[in-house]
A and B are shown apart, each in its own frame.
Chain A
Amino acid sequence: MTGKTVLFLALGGDRQRIVIQDAARVASDGGRAVVVIGDPTVWPTPRRFSRRVKVLELPTLEAAALPAVVARKTLYGLPRRLCRKVGRLPLMSWSSAVGETYERRIADVLHARLFLPTYQRLRGDNRHRLLRRLVLAKTPFDVVVICDPQSIPVAARLARRRSIAKRLTYDLDGPLG
């Protein structure tokens, strides 16, 4: 495992000790370890990862996807800019209050009830695309380890590409295809 670049898919977070130990081992062997976790709140002590291990949170990756960026800019960015232009003194406090009310009562509701469900319905489970575009395309990982059951469906979709399938394994020490 010396000097390898390893991606750990730990989206479920229910085999944490193994993931933390294996990632630390890769780093201490002179390699590079990146761990992708799902819900960060299920990791009670995320800081137990070695400092040399990079931890990516899936919600952060999802937020970086283009449709999410466009939705944020449309629902929040543009109205904020408008408020800033309109809200010059002496209208500053008034426009600030209107902006906050808009975000709370309209933007948040539209984002949660319209954008997210529609986006999820149209795109389905696109976690594998996010990983491919935002993680795998940026780093030539030698090994991709499937660390828990909830990472398996994502790994199965990633494996549709032969170039990724041959780097996938269930065990850090397991042979690759």
Chain B
Amino acid sequence: MDPAPSSDVAIVTPWYPSRHRPFLGAFVRAMVQATSSGPHRTLVYHCDEWVGPYPPAVEAELIRAHHALLPRILRPQPVDGIAGLLRLPVPLALGLTYAEIAKRHADTVGAALGRGPIDAPVVHAHVGLPGGWAALRNARPDARLFVTEHATFLDAVLAQPEARRMYDELLHRCTGFFAVGRAVRDPLVEAFPHHAHRIAIIPNPVSFAAVRPAPVTDLRRWLFVGGLIARKGVLRLLEAFAQCRREDPTLTLTLVGEGPLLKELRARGAQLGVAEAVRYTGAVGPDEALRLMREHDLLVHPSQFETFGMTVVEAVAAGMPVLVTRCHGPEETLVGIGDATAEFVAVEDDPTSLAEGFRRLRGRFTAGLDLDAARRVLSGRYGYEAVAAAHHRAWFAGPETAATTAVTERGMEQPVA
């Protein structure tokens, strides 16, 4: 890659959707799509982690070879609407610390660029460590560096002293730092109170362009979108679905996503006698997931923790109500419109409370929710235009506005105004 491609904005991210992992970093792609509406050219550096059990001797050799090879064979992929996408494999041995992983990302970007820095006046990274660190180490000296933090594993990062020190340096040196919600901002402010004034909130953007062909008339077709992992509460969901289906045999459930619990879910579904009513689509691309939302009646999102909970906002954008846990992100994103579109339940393992939540929501749906009003409100908060405008103000305005562009203290009441 000689010379390094130039752009007006460079995005550095460890997560970006690909053919094989269409969900990974869908929110980063949404942010890129939303913010690329202007005349500026955006280039995405996707540091794609290739994790494996490599012995140290092998790892050292392959990293040397990788760094020599990268600048020779790496070329940006053409992508609609942006200047290009660079997929940079980052080989990682198992068991590395967050600091080591961040340094590997930085070294890989550096190797891909050859001797030069990222040739862009604005560099926006996703995830403090590793993305922010890779950007910090490779940005031009005069570049304005921004970071958006989404990570659900932030506590684990900050628990490692070296990673914490690097995070502190990143916060100190970046032009602007954004959390996608309070669930991310609060632990950062607690860990780095001296940087509290620098940590603003800009949420993930959600597309409100597509309109549901027909409004929801009954809450029969349940939908779950996400990883089939314990944190997402999928086993609780299946149990609750079985309870509710005993009362209404017309209910169906579609699980969109993949994960290690798939086998267990299938087996438990058969035990509960609901196997024929449950469909597993596997991983699908973001566009297909949104299309499925427009074909279902209810999103059930029983996650234990979300920093933002993009799926919940997407569901409201798709004109459907949501049954969701109080897992941090959704309480914030749906503030003020819960009555119009949502039923909240506690984060716990008990499926009965989830089933009761469904009964309450169904009762309220019959009485009348206001899904259109909720959709309008969220479009103003998280629509592409609103979120893009917040980014553009930060990127292209004077340095004094960078850290204060987004709402910092009033949460989501006026998130990106």
Which positions in A face B, CB cutoff 8 Å? Answer: 12, 14-15, 17-18, 21, 146, 148-150, 152-153, 155-157, 159, 165, 168-171, 173-177
Contacts and interface: CB of A to CB of B under 8 A. Distances in A.
Contacts of B91: 149, 152
A111 B66 CA distance: 34
A150 B77 contact: no
Given A170-B89, A171-B87, A149 B66 contact: yes
Given A148-B50, A148-B52, A177-B75, 5 more contacts: A150-B58, A157-B65, A168-B73, A176-B73, A177-B72
Contacts of B89: 146, 149, 170
25 contacts: A14-B50, A14-B53, A15-B50, A18-B20, A146-B69, A146-B89, A148-B50, A149-B89, A150-B52, A150-B54, A150-B58, A152-B62, A152-B65, A156-B66, A159-B73, A165-B73, A168-B69, A170-B74, A170-B87, A171-B87, A173-B19, A175-B75, A176-B73, A177-B72, A177-B75
B363 interface: no
Contacts of A159: 69, 72-73
A168 B50 CA distance: 18
A121 to B, nearest CB: 16
B20 A156 contact: no
A140 to B, nearest CB: 19
A148 B89 CA distance: 9
A135 to B, nearest CB: 19
Interface in B82-118: 87, 89, 91
Contacts of A15: 50
B1 to A, nearest CB: 9
A21 B22 CA distance: 14
B270 interface: no
A47 B62 CA distance: 28
Contacts of B76: 175
A138 B19 CA distance: 30
A45 B227 CA distance: 25
Contacts of B72: 159, 165, 177
Contact of A174 (B59, B66, B87): B87
B417 interface: no
Nearest to A17: B20
Interface in B316-336: none
B273 interface: no
B75 A176 contact: yes
A175 B78 CA distance: 8
B87 A150 contact: no
A32 to B, nearest CB: 20
Nearest to A168: B73
A176 to B, nearest CB: 7
A155 B65 contact: yes
Contact of A156 (B58, B69, B74): B69
A170 B73 contact: yes
Nearest to A155: B69
A150 B62 contact: yes
A21 B65 contact: no
A71 to B, nearest CB: 26
Contacts of B66: 149, 152, 156
A132 B65 CA distance: 18
Contacts of A177: 72-73, 75
A44 to B, nearest CB: 15
Contact of B54 (A149, A174, A176): A149
Contacts of B75: 174-177
B210 interface: no
Contact of B50 (A17, A149, A156, A174): A149
Contacts of A14: 50, 52-53
A24 B19 CA distance: 14
A169 B1 CA distance: 12
